């Protein structure tokens, strides 16, 4: 019982929970939750980056294979072109053909006779002489 009088004791106040501790506890829970969310987001981002990296790596490999195929095709074409150039250098030039044409026109090989034609003509002449 409380005393009455001049020197009476005041009742001790009931211990109130420290509001600062409750506030700090509440804030720490909020921060933990935010940290947890950030950690999950970071994990998702990391997984997405790994998946994207794998996809890009495979595409780069495919592109490198395609580039190698194109290089091989170009190399083959270069070899064929060099072969064609070498073959074309073996052909007669226009000037050479014109010189040959002049000689052929000059000689008139169509007026040449074969050995059989000459023999036939000679026999005919001999036969005619023998008949006379």
Same domain, 77 and 21: yes
Q: Are residues 107 and 54 in the same domain?
A: no
Is residue 7 domain-resident? no
> 120 in the Ramachandran plot: left (φ > 0), alpha (ψ -120 to 50) or beta?
alpha
∠ CA 48-49-53, nearest 5°, is 120
Helix (H) or strand (E) holding 72: helix 19-90
Residues 119 and 98 in one domain: yes
Q: Which residue has the tokens 């007669």?
A: 92
- The number of domains in the chain is 2
Q: How many residues does the chain have?
A: 132
Residues 84 and 24 in one domain: yes
Distance CA 6, CA 4 (A): 7
Residues 30 and 66 in one domain: yes
Instruction: Say what the pLDDT of residue 109 is.
Output: 75
Half-sphere exposure of 45 (CA within 13 A, CB side): 6
Query: Do both 21 and 50 map to the same domain?
Result: yes
pLDDT of residue 99: 92
Which residues constitute the domain of residue 35?
Answer: 17-91
47 in a structural domain: yes
Residues 78 and 22 in one domain: yes
Same domain, 82 and 41: yes
- pLDDT at 20 (0 to 100): 86
In this structure, the answer to whether residues 73 and 29 fall within a common structural domain is yes
pLDDT at 17: 58
Backbone angles phi, psi at 16, to 5 degrees: -90, 140
Is the pTM higher than 0.85? The answer reads no
Q: Calculate the alpha carbon distances from 108 to 57, 96, 103, 116 in Å.
A: 75, 18, 8, 19
Contact 2, 11 (CB under 8 A): yes
| Rounded average pLDDT per 10-residue block, the chain, 132 residues | 57 63 94 97 97 97 97 97 93 90 84 86 91 82
């Amino acid at each position: 019982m409380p005393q009455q009088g001049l020197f009476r004791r005041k009742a001790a106040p009931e211990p109130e929970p420290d509001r600062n501790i409750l506030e700090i506890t509440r804030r720490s829970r909020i921060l933990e939750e935010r940290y947890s969310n950030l950690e999950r987001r970071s994990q998702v981002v990391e997984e997405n980056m790994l998946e994207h990296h794998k996809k890009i790596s495979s595409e780069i490999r495919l592109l490198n294979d395609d580039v190698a195929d194109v290089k091989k095709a170009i190399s083959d074409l270069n070899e064929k072109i060099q072969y064609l150039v070498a073959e074309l250098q073996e052909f007669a030039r226009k000037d050479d053909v014109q010189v040959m044409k002049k000689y052929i026109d000059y000689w008139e090989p169509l007026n040449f006779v074969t050995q059989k034609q000459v023999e036939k003509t000679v026999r005919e002449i001999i036969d005619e002489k023998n008949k006379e």
